[in-house]
Amino acid sequence: MTEYVRATDIVSDDVRNVMVGREQVLEPLRQRHIFVTGGNGFLGTWIVELVAYLNDHLGFGTRVTVYSRQSRSLLVLAPHLRRHDWLHFQDGDVRYLAEIPRDVAFVVHAAAITDRRLFASCPSLVAETISIGTARVLKAALLLDSLEKFVLLSSGLVYGAQPWSESRVDEDFLGPAPRTTIASVYAESKRMAEIFAQAAISESKLPVVIVRPFAFVGPYLSLNLPWAVTDFIRDGFNGGPIRIMGDGAAVRSLMYASDYAFWTLAALARGEPRNAYNVGSSDQVDLLSLAKIIARQFRPEPTIVTNCGQGHAPSILVPSVAKAQAVLGVSLTVDLQTALQRTVAWNRLVKGT
In this structure, is residue 303 part of a structural domain?
A: no
Identity of the residue numbered 290: L
Locate the DSSP E strands across the chain: 33-37, 63-68, 87-91, 106-109, 149-153, 208-213, 216-217, 242-243, 251-252, 255-256, 276-279, 285-286, 304-305
3 state SS of 278: strand
Q: What is the structure's pLDDT at 44?
A: 94
Q: What is the structure's pLDDT at 309?
A: 67
Domain harbouring 77, CATH code:
3.40.50.720
**Number of helical H runs and strand E runs in the chain:** 12, 13
In this structure, is residue 237 part of a structural domain?
A: no
In this structure, is residue 14 part of a structural domain?
A: yes
Identity of the residue numbered 52: A
Q: What is the structure's pLDDT at 180?
A: 65
Q: How far is CA 269 from CA 2, 144, 187, in A?
A: 36, 18, 26
Q: What is the structure's pLDDT at 222?
A: 93
In this structure, is residue 92 part of a structural domain?
A: yes
In this structure, is residue 331 part of a structural domain?
A: yes
Of the candidates 90, 14, 32, 13, the one whose C-alpha atom is nearest the C-alpha of residue 268 is 32
Contact 84, 13 (CB under 8 A): no
Q: Is the peptide bond preceding residue 123 cis, with omega within 30 degrees of 0?
A: no
Contact 245, 304 (CB under 8 A): no
Q: Can you give the pTM of this predicted structure?
A: 0.96
Residue-range definition of the domain harbouring residue 120: 2-221+253-282+318-336
* Regions of the chain with pLDDT less than 50: none
Q: What is the structure's pLDDT at 3?
A: 84
Q: How many domains does the chain have?
A: 1
In this structure, is residue 154 part of a structural domain?
A: yes
In this structure, is residue 73 part of a structural domain?
A: yes
Q: Distance between CA 133 and CA 97 in Å, rounded? A: 8
Q: What is the structure's pLDDT at 312?
A: 67
In this structure, is residue 228 part of a structural domain?
A: no
Q: Distance between CA 196 and CA 203 in Å, rounded? A: 10
**Between vectors from CA 27 to CA 21 and to CA 32, what angle results, nearest 5°?**
140
